[in-house]
A and B are shown apart, each in its own frame.
Chain A
């Protein structure tokens, strides 16, 4: 497995399945009285969040703590984008602290790649969402949730039909999900107005539909994306009502879904815009479970990225006389 998780493209099919399998075992342990594993004792994991995202940060923090890692939360709102400390200086600081892994959330696409590629620090970099690029652990937890419900006991998601609905253009969740779901054998349909699909989407391994009615009945999973109200001002769609009418998951469309099909949403939801309250709270909704599964998946990622990796050179100098392996 790669040392970093910046994109789903960093994972082979086998890596992805290994993460899901490991997460499944860890979820079982977490269900048992065991809440804490000593696996990453003595390792330092830094949550470097340039954007507010309490749910993602808490999920990673819980995952790292259950593996006994030391967790440092570094809220760095006001990056070089707003003339604060530069990404480079932040990285050098983290290196000096001896960070074994840095979990980074950043408003700029590619910021995690910059952190990983430059010789600023030696630890693993995990992308917790960068701009409109990717959010790989979200895709992994979505795949985990889908597999658990619709392909229990199997390796991948072969043949499942997944609809991803909404603002694909600005969605890092959508990009990671398209890559991972395709890798795991699912058939993905993007459902969005052309204004909210990127130019170049033709090269993605997906089908496209311009209305939810066209796909809702035949989908095994309907994954709704958050739509930001500001998009209206940028002319991506004329009104909330019109968007909601064509692309929202409402009660009527919920009834058209297969009884076993799942409703998903990465959160936070705009109830009444892209998803109605009755859809979000329906029996088919696994939205709350997605959050719970996030911890197991992130534990798996941390374990698989950090297990086996030697200490960073800086660290080992300081710690070599203390640590007996």
Chain B
């Protein structure tokens, strides 16, 4: 078996570490130069971190393969330093049966660039009525543990209660897209000064916070596990902080774009900034950063949402919600959280790899480097910067709001289960 040793890398904790990979696992960890005979990859000066794990990815397959498919989404993930992503179920057909989740799971295996874990729908067709066959999905080859109607809120409190109760059978988790639909009919952007000026229909913070508050109380009542998708408001962070202080089993995620962008970008009326939930104001962004730093918000999730060009090259109201984000996530977090000294690299590894794997139940992902673990490793040059170019994206879609922006942190290499899937910034596909 050939052995490859990465030498000169530095861990998130700042320690020198040489990692030897044999087959798909880590076979040796040394501080000194390893024995001769191994193939050597000199990455002196670069950071070595566990492969990143995303709990919120839209891969559009089946049904919308013009925007993305599992293979292209996997490529974007690898380019962004991820070794595991989680496919949201709002496909066509909806991933609400064992059949569809197994299909997505096997497409991920076939692409072979990273783990693709399907997330199952909570309700049939994501319509918010009847529960989907959650247990069947959990027991399928895909072993689904996380369920979400993402894109739609599980609005009916009784349905939400039942779903939370039901997933207790296998320590599952309901990932809620918190959006009161009655308060957000035709809503276009954050409700406030900017929406008033632009004449775009407002999306009040309370529409998100009211659902978060309700679901926290439901989770406490039925003693289950809740995950809040893409928190965007200061009030939401406050509610989650309160829930955690009460010992309620709730986790939460924030997207990179909500850590960096604010609603005044809508003044251009360019729908590249149209996203669900919407960009909020500066106070919210500060609260989100603070919440991520102090652990109130557990993880960063991309909500990578590819859309074809024509869905964004139109009037704001006619445009689709969403932004791609797999390839820019790490750099945006470095910019917003590390460059600003709110977090260190250890925190980043926790929020982007370890905690997401724990919440999602991905046993082989998000692990500290240890002998015998699967070799899921991302190599980052933290001192280099790069300029986002939407046309160079690995995604099939181009809807990044960061085009032209200079960001810190260049991901040079990624190892997925021992295979070098990113080499010198280039994605190496399976032959």
Whether a CB of chain B sits under 8 angstroms from the CB of A284 is no
Q: Tell me the bound Cα distance from A291 to B210 in angstroms.
A: 47
Whether a CB of chain A sits under 8 angstroms from the CB of B41 is no
Check B315 against A172 for contact (C-beta < 8 Å): no
Check B202 against A109 for contact (C-beta < 8 Å): no
Give the residues in chain B near A79, CB-CB below 8 Å: 315, 318
Q: Tell me the bound Cα distance from A234 to B45 in angstroms.
A: 61
1/0 contact trace for A190-230 toward B, CB 8 Å?
00000000111111100000000000000000000000000
Check B318 against A108 for contact (C-beta < 8 Å): yes
For residue B263, give the distance in angstroms from its CB to the closest CB of chain A.
11
Give the residues in chain B near A81, CB-CB below 8 Å: 315, 317-318
Given contacts A109-B199, A109-B200, A117-B270, contact A200 B194 (CB under 8 A): yes
Whether a CB of chain B sits under 8 angstroms from the CB of A266 is no
Give the residues in chain A near B198, CB-CB below 8 Å: 109-110, 133
Check B199 against A87 for contact (C-beta < 8 Å): no
Interchain Cβ contacts within 8 Å, total number: 82
Check B193 against A114 for contact (C-beta < 8 Å): no
* A109-123 contacts to B (CB < 8 Å): 109-111, 113-114, 117-118
Check A175 against B199 for contact (C-beta < 8 Å): yes
Query: Which of B197, B201, B310 sits near A175, CB closer than 8 Å?
Result: B197
1/0 contact trace for A77-110 toward B, CB 8 Å?
0011100001110000000000000000010111
Give the residues in chain A near B204, CB-CB below 8 Å: 199
Give the residues in chain A near B117, CB-CB below 8 Å: none
* B185-203 contacts to A (CB < 8 Å): 191-202
> Which of A88, A133, A199, A202 has the most chain B CB atoms closer than 10 A to its own CB?
A199
For residue A220, give the distance in angstroms from its CB to the closest CB of chain B.
25
For residue A74, give the distance in angstroms from its CB to the closest CB of chain B.
16
1/0 contact trace for B330-352 toward A, CB 8 Å?
00000000000000000000000
Whether a CB of chain B sits under 8 angstroms from the CB of A167 is no
Check B317 against A199 for contact (C-beta < 8 Å): no
Q: Which partner residue on chain B sits nearest A197 by CB separation?
A: B196
Give the residues in chain B near A86, CB-CB below 8 Å: 310, 313-314
Whether a CB of chain A sits under 8 angstroms from the CB of B166 is no
Query: Which of B195, B269, B316 sits near A198, CB closer than 8 Å?
Result: B195
Whether a CB of chain B sits under 8 angstroms from the CB of A30 is no
Please report whether the interface of chain B is mostly helix, strand, loop or mixed according to DSSP: loop
Q: Tell me the bound Cα distance from A172 to B197 in angstroms.
A: 10
Q: Tell me the bound Cα distance from A182 to B97 in angstroms.
A: 59
Whether a CB of chain B sits under 8 angstroms from the CB of A131 is yes
Query: Which of A113, A175, A201, A204 sits near B269, CB closer than 8 Å?
Result: A113
Given contacts A109-B317, A114-B315, contact A200 B200 (CB under 8 A): no
Whether a CB of chain B sits under 8 angstroms from the CB of A134 is yes
Q: Tell me the bound Cα distance from A105 to B195 in angstroms.
A: 20
> Which of A114, A132, A201 has the most chain B CB atoms closer than 10 A to its own CB?
A114
Q: Tell me the bound Cα distance from A110 to B315 in angstroms.
A: 7
Q: Tell me the bound Cα distance from A274 to B198 in angstroms.
A: 25
Check A106 against B202 for contact (C-beta < 8 Å): no
Q: Which partner residue on chain B sits nearest A179 by CB separation?
A: B197
> Which of B192, B196, B204 has the most chain A CB atoms closer than 10 A to its own CB?
B196
Give the residues in chain A near B316, CB-CB below 8 Å: 108-110, 114
Query: Which of B199, B270, B310 sits near A133, CB closer than 8 Å?
Result: B199
For residue B262, give the distance in angstroms from its CB to the closest CB of chain A.
14
For residue A10, give the distance in angstroms from its CB to the closest CB of chain B.
13
Give the residues in chain B near A109, CB-CB below 8 Å: 198-200, 269, 316-317
Give the residues in chain A near B269, CB-CB below 8 Å: 109-111, 113-114, 117
Q: Tell me the bound Cα distance from A199 to B187 in angstroms.
A: 13
Given contacts A114-B269, A117-B270, A199-B191, contact A88 B199 (CB under 8 A): no
Check A200 against B193 for contact (C-beta < 8 Å): yes
Give the residues in chain A near B313, CB-CB below 8 Å: 86, 88, 118
Check B196 against A201 for contact (C-beta < 8 Å): yes
Q: Which partner residue on chain B sits nearest A118 by CB separation?
A: B313
Q: Tell me the bound Cα distance from A62 to B204 in angstroms.
A: 43
Give the residues in chain A near B270, CB-CB below 8 Å: 114, 117
Check A200 against B196 for contact (C-beta < 8 Å): yes
Whether a CB of chain A sits under 8 angstroms from the CB of B383 is no
For residue B316, give the distance in angstroms from its CB to the closest CB of chain A.
5
Check A200 against B197 for contact (C-beta < 8 Å): yes
Q: Tell me the bound Cα distance from A17 to B229 in angstroms.
A: 51
For residue A66, give the distance in angstroms from its CB to the closest CB of chain B.
31
1/0 contact trace for A156-198 toward B, CB 8 Å?
0000000000000000100100000000000000000000001
Give the residues in chain A near B200, CB-CB below 8 Å: 109-110, 131-133
Q: Tell me the bound Cα distance from A64 to B269 in angstroms.
A: 28
Give the residues in chain B near A204, CB-CB below 8 Å: 196
Q: Tell me the bound Cα distance from A117 to B195 in angstroms.
A: 19
Whether a CB of chain A sits under 8 angstroms from the CB of B2 is no
Check A200 against B315 for contact (C-beta < 8 Å): no
Given contacts A109-B317, A114-B315, contact A203 B193 (CB under 8 A): yes
1/0 contact trace for B139-177 toward A, CB 8 Å?
000000000000000000000000000000000000000
Check A88 against B315 for contact (C-beta < 8 Å): no
Given contacts A110-B269, A200-B192, A203-B193, contact A134 B199 (CB under 8 A): yes
For residue A49, give the distance in angstroms from its CB to the closest CB of chain B.
15
Q: Which partner residue on chain A sits nearest B269 by CB separation?
A: A110
Check B314 against A114 for contact (C-beta < 8 Å): yes
1/0 contact trace for B11-54 toward A, CB 8 Å?
00000000000000000000000000000000000000000000
Q: Tell me the bound Cα distance from A134 to B198 in angstroms.
A: 8
Give the residues in chain B near A203, CB-CB below 8 Å: 193, 196-197
Whether a CB of chain A sits under 8 angstroms from the CB of B268 is yes
For residue A97, give the distance in angstroms from its CB to the closest CB of chain B.
21
> Which of B202, B204, B316 has the most chain A CB atoms closer than 10 A to its own CB?
B316
1/0 contact trace for A60-83 toward B, CB 8 Å?
000000000000000000011100
For residue A156, give the distance in angstroms from its CB to the closest CB of chain B.
23
Give the residues in chain A near B195, CB-CB below 8 Å: 198-200
> Which of A113, A117, A118 has the most chain B CB atoms closer than 10 A to its own CB?
A113
**8 extra interchain contacts, Cβ-Cβ under 8 A, other than A79-B315, A200-B202?**
A108-B316, A109-B199, A110-B269, A110-B315, A132-B201, A199-B204, A200-B192, A204-B196
Q: Offer 30 A-B interface pairs, CB within 8 angstroms, sorted by A.
A: A79-B315, A86-B313, A87-B314, A88-B313, A88-B314, A108-B316, A109-B199, A109-B200, A109-B269, A109-B316, A109-B317, A111-B269, A114-B269, A114-B315, A114-B316, A131-B200, A132-B199, A132-B200, A133-B198, A133-B199, A134-B199, A175-B199, A198-B196, A199-B192, A200-B191, A200-B195, A200-B197, A200-B202, A201-B196, A203-B197
The chain A residues found within 8 Å of chain B, CB to CB, are 79-81, 86-88, 106, 108-111, 113-114, 117-118, 130-134, 172, 175, 198-204
